[in-house]
Structure 1
Amino acid sequence: MNKITPFLWFNADAEAAADFYLSIFPSGRKLDEFRVTEAGPGPKGSVLVISIELEGQQVTFLNGGPSNKLSDAFSFSLRCENQQEIDMYWAKLTEGGSETACGWLKDKFGVSWQVVPKNMSKLVSNPGGMKAMMTMKKLDIAALEKAASQS
């Protein structure tokens, strides 16, 4: 287990979120879960806490109720090798969610993701690349590379 682990608060769908992410990332796996006992809180047998591993990163989810909401202040950054990988993850993660801007999306559980090429820093460190990125929702590597090379 990682010494530092992202810990996300869900209302009541932590297990569904974990199952969704495990279906997207083939190397993902469930690490641990804690189900509610007769002591509570919540319905006996329901998941209270579930830990999964995605691409080597441990993530823990809590069914903590409606008092805290996920926000764009926290996001996962997903570095992709090529356009095909960006397209694949974008399609799966936006299913039931929404596209935002500059390679960001929000999935159906309200978790924000940045789906970016592995050389994103290099592409946007150039003014042309940055300007091009600012006009995109899903990132287009070829268009970013072209814009970065022309300025």
Structure 2
Amino acid sequence: MPEISTCLWFDDNLMEAVDFYTTVFPNSERRGVSHYEDGRVLAAEWTLDGRPFRGINGGPVHAGFTETVSLSISCADQSEVDYYWDNLVAGGEPDQCAWLKDRFGLSWQVVPVRLYELVSDPDPVRAQAAVAEMMTQQKIVIADIEAAVERAQAQPR
């Protein structure tokens, strides 16, 4: 089966992005770089935690990156959420419900695995409380969501 990788189009800052991403994610590395005839970087390949990526310096993009495509990180705990969120949002923009745009305009979702468990709780009252609390957050704070779920559970039905 062929390998599927993500290819990202940058204006002219591909190597800055590659260097940034490979320092944020463990087990990551720059793999290869090709150049235009004038020596400018044309394309690069890298891995993020072993997953392949490609990028090109294709010049100005009409639409740039949008939220219609994002990279999602499933985090084991709050410390992982804090690490990835804080690093990726630096110079970028936070958004609602675990979403952010990094300084290159690429959208990310930084989501603790525990959030998936809480919003899909078989008890609809608990699940709705988790969703309602999540909707008030930018960076996910799992303790606050767990507290909202417990408050909802304690309410008489």
Q: TM-score, normalised by structure 1?
A: 0.89
What is the correspondence of 1:26-65 to structure 2 with a 5 Å cutoff?
26-37=26-37, 44-65=38-59
Structure 1 or 2, whichever has the larger Rg, is 2
Query: Which position in structure 1 is the counterpart of 2:123?
Result: none
CA distance in 2, matches of 1:120, 1:91: 18
CA distance in 2, matches of 1:97, 1:11: 17
Alpha-carbon shift at residue 90 of structure 1 (Å): 1.1
RMSD (Å), alpha carbons: 1.4
| 1:10–1:70 CA contact under 8 A, matched in 2 | no
My pick for the range that moved more, 51-60 or 139-148, is: 139-148
SS at match of 1:129: helix
CA distance in 2, matches of 1:59, 1:120: 27
Alpha-carbon shift at residue 94 of structure 1 (Å): 1.0
Structure 1 gap ranges (5+): 38-43
What stretches of structure 1 move > 4 A for 4+ residues in a row?
Answer: none
Query: Which position in structure 1 is the counterpart of 2:95?
Result: 100
Q: Deviations over 1:73-95 (max 9, x none)?
A: 11110111111111111111111
Query: Which position in structure 1 is the counterpart of 2:8?
Result: 8
CA distance in 1, matches of 2:68, 2:34: 27
Higher helix share: 2
Q: How many residues align?
A: 144
Q: TM-score, normalised by structure 2?
A: 0.85
| 2:36–2:42 CA contact under 8 A, matched in 1 | yes
Query: Which position in structure 1 is the counterpart of 2:83?
Result: 88
Structure 2 gap ranges (5+): 121-126
